[in-house]
Amino acid sequence: MSRTSNRADGEVIRDFLSVADLLEEPALAQLYAYLAREGESTVQELMDALDLAQGTAYTYVNRLVDAGVIEATSEEQPRRYVAREIDLTVTTAAGDREYTITPALIDAVGRRATDDDIDTYIDRHGIAGLATALTYAVDRERGEITHRLMAQDLDISPLAAEIILQALRPVVLEHFDIETSGASGADIGGVDEDVVDDA
């Protein structure tokens, strides 16, 4: 579902609205993210993995198929479903920031229902803010930035930066090929005292 310049405006808008549904409903985002991570699955496998009731699972699958973000791989029963790749770039209304909606961002949004730190961050900074934090989380895992630099860049407290970086770490490790180059910033002794002192 990558956006290219030769697509008709109506198609791009329809696809954007489909992706917007994923960003508004964490349960749909969780289902999409599971398929993006795990590959082909039946509705029964989705029910088991995500602890969904049968009716709910079929409703979610049908909504995501109708939205065009997942598709059936065959007509045989039980049907197997896969996630379509999403890579949609959005510019904020002010035009000052651009962010990309990817399976990793959708996965992070899906964790909102089970991770209070992600939920709080979205409430305070919106999906665009979470997308920006996810970029910093990837850079952090690559050893290119610290929580203090993120805090300074985004004008947030170092404690808030550390909390969201830690919450997004599992998303980054699942979706990005990160070379393990030693300890992360959180593994270094004394970081907790530094963070608390700066709060």
Overall fold of domain 9-83: Arc Repressor Mutant, subunit A (1.10.10)
Locate the domains of the chain by residue range: 9-83, 115-188
Residue 25: its pLDDT value, please? 84
Residue of 62 and 99 predicted with greater confidence: 62
User: What confidence score (pLDDT) does residue 24 get?
Assistant: 82
Average pLDDT for 97-115: 85
Residues whose CB falls within 8 Å of the CB of residue 133, separated by 6 or more in sequence, listed in order: 121, 125, 150, 154, 164, 165, 168
CB 48 within 8 A of CB 80: no
Q: Average pLDDT for residues 11-33, to the nearest whole number?
A: 75
Q: Report the share of the chain in percent with pLDDT over 90.
A: 43
Q: Residue 191: which pLDDT band, with cuts at 50, 70 and 90?
A: very low
Which phi and psi angles does 62 have, rounded to 5°? -65, -40
* Helical ranges in the chain per DSSP H: 9-24, 26-38, 43-50, 54-67, 103-110, 116-141, 147-154, 158-175, 191-198
How far is CA 5 from each of CA 94, 181, 186, rounded to the nearest angstrom? 22, 38, 41
Residue range 73-93: mean pLDDT, rounded: 81
**166 contacts: CB under 8 Å, gap ≥ 6:** 117, 186
Residue scoring higher pLDDT (10 or 57):
57
pLDDT at 193: 43
Residue at 5: amino acid letter: S
C-alpha to C-alpha distance for 91 and 30, rounded to whole angstroms: 24
Does pTM top 0.75 for this prediction?
no
